[in-house]
Amino acid sequence: MVRNTNGGCKSKGFARKLQDNSSSSEPLRLPTDECEIFATVKKILGNGRLIVGTTNTSYPELQCMIRSKFRGRSKRNHMVTVGSVLLIGLHHWESPNYKHSDMLHIYPSSSLSQLLHMKLIPSSFITSSVYDSAGTGDDSFTFENTDTTDIDLPPPQRIPNMKPSGGGGDDGSEEFGDVMPDFDDI
């Protein structure tokens, strides 16, 4: 019987030909052209668009389009999050003022150490969220026992008693005595 290892209640029904074999290791995709550079995702804009930070100082931020290869049924194998490391292709017709690019490859967290070892990406590209998804970093939470006695809180304010005026009907007007409550403080 097929085991439901990931993907929710209907994932056992997916076609086996469409599933990614994570046991087979693919060779590391490296840039082959001067228009292919490494980038990291800074912001997800929506509609398949991203803001990415690059290694090149002349164009540090570019807008990137997610190609249809990474959308649809193959999206589950190519999830793009903030901090993901990508290989992007610059539009050669925009040279030298590049503003847009296409996503060519997304690197899984397991291959980031290889890219760092080959010195193809700076260590600032690997954020804690991407590195922790591989299970190799810490959670970056620190708990301290702090004393809250040095915090000065103002004394609680007393709300005046409200008494309805009139004989028995509620006409909407109420007496507050001498003090009217400030509705901006409520």
Residue 113's H or E segment, with its range, is helix 112-117
Q: Which amino acid is at 92?
A: H
pLDDT tens-digit readout, 153-180: 777 777 777 666 655 555 555 555 566 7
Instruction: Give the Cα separation of 165 and 173 in Å (integer).
Output: 7
> Residue 88 — very low, low, confident or very high, per pLDDT cuts 50/70/90?
very high
Instruction: Give the Cα separation of 102 and 66 in Å (integer).
Output: 6
pLDDT tens-digit readout, 15-26: 666 555 554 567
39 pLDDT higher than 70: yes
Report helix, strand or coil for 22.
coil
Token couple for 24: 């087979």
pTM of the model as a whole: 0.58
Domain boundaries, given as residue ranges, for the chain: 31-133
48 pLDDT higher than 60: yes
What's the fold here for domain 31-133?
Answer: OB fold (Dihydrolipoamide Acetyltransferase, E2P) (2.40.50)
The residue to which tokens 């028995």 are assigned:
168
